[in-house]
Amino acid sequence: MTKFTDLGLAEPLLKALATEGYETPTPIQAQAIPHILQGRDLLGAAQTGTGKTAAFALPMLHRLLANPRRLSPRAVRVLILSPTRELAAQIETSIRAYAQFTTLRSTVIFGGVPVGKQIRALGDKIDILVATPGRLLDLVDQRAVSLREIEFLVLDEADQMLDLGFIHALRRIATLIPKERQTLLFSATMPKPIRDIASAYL
């Protein structure tokens, strides 16, 4: 059986996995990690509870570490879009755990709470931003964050984002980020609107 140590992940990530007590990749992790490490886009049919977050976060963190970059002020390298604040917060907590032995920094932004603290956090050289779509666009319009240097885009629970009416926000976000990027799209179901989004984004 595949072990995390067989996947070629950077040492600080393996150390974090050992600290978290993970030894064996889940099936989606064993499939997705090598694919994402090769720089390919991914369309994943996966539900929460399958280990999906580590499946996309670990290879992305690996690639960020392998290619250190200096960013313009308020620019981020990774954007992870999530339909709800609970999921966004949960993803960011996981990313912090996996990145705990690196200097990579993350933050999370979502609506329904005051914006000041989020704007200040974005001024702090953030590599990885987890966001809900509406609040993200508010903060882009306030010039609190720039999406012009994005290298990785993750659309998590894309079907739920469409159900919650985020289609226009997603279309606008797509116009703000570079065409040259790696895109990872996850959805529990694959109805036609998701397949359309996937073909537009991937």
- For binding to ligand AMP (CB under 6 A), which residues are involved? 22, 24-26, 29, 48-54
Task: For 78, list phi and psi in degrees, rounded to 5.
Answer: -130, 135
Give the list of residues 6+ apart from residue 107 with CB closer than 8 angstroms, or none. Answer: 92, 118, 121, 122, 124, 126, 128, 129, 130
Please give the radius of gyration of the chain, using alpha carbons only, rounded to the nearest integer: 16
Question: From the CB of 147, what's the least distance to ligand AMP, in Å?
Answer: 24
- In terms of CB distance, is 39 or 49 closer to ligand AMP? 49
Token readout for 180 is 């040259």
Measured from the CB atom, the residue of 5 and 48 that comes closer to ligand AMP is: 48
DSSP secondary structure, 40-89, as one string:
--EEE---TTSSHHHHHHHHHHHHHHHS-----TTB-SEEEE-SSHHHHH
Token pair 């609040």: residue = 135
Shortest spacing between CB 10 and ligand AMP, in angstroms: 17
Provide, rounded to whole angstroms, the least separation between the CB of residue 77 and ligand AMP.
21
Q: Which helix (H) or strand (E) holds 78?
A: strand 78-81
Identify which of residues 28 and 147 has a Cβ nearer to ligand AMP in the complex. 28
Helices (H) and strands (E) in the chain, counts: 9, 6
Kindly state the smallest distance separating residue 51's Cβ from ligand AMP, in Å: 3
- Gap between the Cα atoms of 185 and 76, Å rounded: 19
Residue 63 Cβ vs ligand AMP, minimum distance, rounded to whole Å:
19
**Smallest separation, CB 192 to ligand AMP (Å):** 25
